[in-house]
Amino acid sequence: MTRVAPNSGREGVSLRLMTPVAAPKASRRTPADKHDERRKALAESALRTLGELGYARSSLREIANNSEFSHGVVHYYFNDKLELIVYCVRYYKETCVHRYDGVVAEATSPDDLAERFGDKLVETIVEEAPMHRLWYDLRSQSMFEESLREAVTQIDQSLEDMIARIVDRYATLAGAEPAIAAPVAYGMFDGIFQQALLGHLNGREGALEDLRAQVVGLMPMLLAPAKA
Amino acid sequence: MTRVAPNSGREGVSLRLMTPVAAPKASRRTPADKHDERRKALAESALRTLGELGYARSSLREIANNSEFSHGVVHYYFNDKLELIVYCVRYYKETCVHRYDGVVAEATSPDDLAERFGDKLVETIVEEAPMHRLWYDLRSQSMFEESLREAVTQIDQSLEDMIARIVDRYATLAGAEPAIAAPVAYGMFDGIFQQALLGHLNGREGALEDLRAQVVGLMPMLLAPAKA
DNA sequence: CGCTAATCTTGACGACTGTCAAGATTTCTC
DNA sequence: GAGAAATCTTGACAGTCGTCAAGATTAGCG
């Protein structure tokens, strides 16, 4: 009698499709929805531990101890440790890729956009450093662990798109064209962001102010002269 | 009778200083030197396993199995696993930071330098991808493990210096001044290099050619117009 | 209420880990 | 070549790990 977690397909969409969604207001809480909510609650708990200890040192028991669940329940909602962790990072990064949407929407000038962008980058390092280091940890692990690559590639792509939206908006506000392609822009910003995160975790004074200044100084260089 | 590895001070310099170095040609092989050689041999074996499995999944037994040593000998030459791994990465990165010295010395024009640089970057990804992913792994781990930060910071600094030498030489050849500071340049190149490495490991066609083109295209943007 | 299915807890398993110590083996020195 | 020091092997230790299964508990429904 092997126990198999129901709704364990990726993203847990399958079961939800089976519930009758005839009346838009009816069936507020189908059991499948509750199952999904539980997974999210478990993921949020797990993210605390993962952000503190990293991928390798986070045992399922430690994750469960720092939550309201017991260590066995993990295998009820996830097939194995990897599925839990991939779910967690995907869950977190969902909220991540829209972090700068406000910046893009509200900026009134190129300089304004650059400054708001720099501020947001600094802010997220201060407030969510554990999540960011977890992301870099997982991305590094994906270089060794084949089964992580699909999720990491997808997240990386969505982050690249996020940066592309900023650069495009910046160019539009400046009445110019971007001088570099999206992958380059993403790689660059990701690189200096990673350095700032490292400096911040090392307690290096000025790491965050440097990041802000670097971003503001870099943005104008991303534009082609004026027009073709 | 606790066993303590002799010459276990960092970098193993202390004992060597005790050997009489009066005659320049005498005492070719002091026992301390042999001890150091053994550490290096062990490190080279360990690097193969570390590059294959990464930091967390490389057990001391696995490292020893892929070498000519037994698993117990590790504690004769290193105090613990961390000291071994830090020694390994330091050992490897020593040869790493001079990879582009030839490029700097031989380049005859800015464009020539940019192309040689791009070629070398591609070459090292092809030939030493496991070493590079190990480095990114270790750097990510240092965000969680305090005891890794000193070594990682030092290596990162020497890599930044390496990039600075390239940018400076590029500017000199072009008769201009660098438009960006060394930390920014390093962060940028490290970022796009990391993306290329990820793409290469993912089997993405064109990842290496993209890197080469990105670098060649990026270099001119690192220069301030002409002169002050 | 009573029954069934979903959910959760508990405890155990085999495997693997870093570390260490005792003894075997080799190397060096006189 | 004998004695001593350095080097290496082997085996064991106390933990921790992911995983799983059996049973307890709860929730949903007629």
Q: Which two tokens stand for residue B165?
A: 């030498």
Is B228 contained in some domain? no
For residues A104 and A166, the answer to whether their CB atoms sit within 8 Å is yes
> Are B128 and B162 in the same domain?
yes
- Asked if residue A3 keeps its beta carbon closer than 7 A to nucleic acid strand C, the reply is yes
Which pLDDT score, from 0 to 100, does residue A44 have? 92
Which pLDDT score, from 0 to 100, does residue B31 have? 60
Which pLDDT score, from 0 to 100, does residue B142 have? 97
Is B211 contained in some domain? yes
pLDDT tens for residues A25-50? Answer: 334 456 667 788 889 999 999 999 99
Q: Which residue carries 């509200």 as its tokens? A: A106
Q: Which two tokens stand for residue A136?
A: 């870099």
DSSP output for A146-196: GGGHHHHHHHHHHHHHHHHHHHHHHHHHHTS-BSS-HHHHHHHHHHHHHHH
CA-based nearest residue to A139, from A130, A128, A129, A150:
A150
Mean pLDDT taken over chain A: 86
Q: pLDDT by residue for chain B (228 residues), tens digit each? A: 334 444 443 333 333 333 333 333 334 456 677 788 889 999 999 999 999 999 999 999 999 999 989 999 999 999 999 999 999 989 988 888 999 999 999 999 999 999 999 999 999 999 999 999 999 999 999 999 999 999 999 999 999 999 999 999 999 999 999 999 999 999 999 999 999 999 999 999 999 999 999 999 999 999 986 544
What residue spans of chain B are helical by DSSP H? 14-18, 31-53, 60-65, 74-77, 81-96, 101-106, 110-142, 149-174, 182-201, 207-218
Q: Hey, which residues does B223 pair with through a beta bridge?
A: B178
The last residue of one of the domains, among A19, A54, A87, is A87
Confidence band of A95 (pLDDT split at 50, 70, 90):
confident
> Are A106 and A128 in the same domain?
yes
Kindly identify which residue of chain B lies nearest to residue A207, measuring between CA atoms.
B183
DSSP state of A90: H
> How many angstroms separate the CA of residue B140 from the nearest CA in chain A?
5
Q: If residue A85 lies in a helix (H) or strand (E), which one and from where to where?
A: helix A81-96
Contact criterion met (CB < 8 Å) for A187 and B183: no
SS3 B21: coil
Is B148 contained in some domain? yes
Question: Domain total for chain A?
Answer: 2
Distance of CA A6 to the CA centre of its chain: 26
Which pLDDT score, from 0 to 100, does residue B30 have? 61
SS3 B88: helix
Ranges A4-18, A69-83, B126-140, B157-171: which has the least confidence: A4-18
CA-based nearest residue to B122, from B213, B218, B26:
B213
Which pLDDT score, from 0 to 100, does residue A10 have? 36
Which pLDDT score, from 0 to 100, does residue A198 have? 98
Is B92 contained in some domain? no
The last residue of one of the domains, among A22, A53, A87, is A87
For residues B138 and B152, the answer to whether their CB atoms sit within 8 Å is yes
Instruction: Check if A174 contacts B (Cβ < 8 Å).
Output: no
| Contacts with A202 from chain B: Cβ below 8 Å | 149, 153
Which pLDDT score, from 0 to 100, does residue B20 have? 35
Which pLDDT score, from 0 to 100, does residue A20 have? 35
Kindly state the percentage of chain A with pLDDT values over 70.
Answer: 84
For residues A115 and A213, the answer to whether their CB atoms sit within 8 Å is no
Q: Which two tokens stand for residue B114?
A: 């940019």
Q: CA torsion angle for B11, B100, B160, A171 (degrees, to 10)?
A: -160
> Are A152 and A208 in the same domain?
yes
DSSP state of B30: -
Which pLDDT score, from 0 to 100, does residue A226 have? 58
Query: How many other C-beta atoms are found inside a 10 Å radius of the C-beta of residue B36?
Result: 18
Tell whether the model's pLDDT for residue A69 goes beyond 80.
Answer: yes
> Are A35 and A140 in the same domain?
no
| Contacts with A143 from chain B: Cβ below 8 Å | 54, 133, 136-137, 197-198, 201
Dihedral sign, CA of B151, B152, B156, B157? negative
Is B227 contained in some domain? no
Which pLDDT score, from 0 to 100, does residue B64 have? 94
> Are B202 and B112 in the same domain?
yes
Which pLDDT score, from 0 to 100, does residue A22 have? 31
Instruction: Give the residue numbers spanning the domain of A197.
Output: 97-222
What residue spans of B54-148 are helical by DSSP H? 60-65, 74-77, 81-96, 101-106, 110-142
For residues B50 and B63, the answer to whether their CB atoms sit within 8 Å is yes
Distance A49 CA to C12 C1' (A): 25
| Contacts with A186 from chain B: Cβ below 8 Å | 191, 195
Q: Which two tokens stand for residue B137?
A: 């792994």
User: Across residues A101-108, what is the average pLDDT?
Assistant: 96
Contacting residues 26-45/A vs strand D (CB within 7 A): 31, 34
Ranges A3-12, A196-205, B28-37: which has the least confidence: A3-12
CATH code for position B39: 1.10.10.60
The last residue of one of the domains, among A87, A111, A128, is A87
| Contacts with A184 from chain B: Cβ below 8 Å | 192, 214, 217-218
Kindly identify which residue of chain B lies nearest to residue A197, measuring between CA atoms.
B143
Distance A82 CA to D18 C1' (A): 11
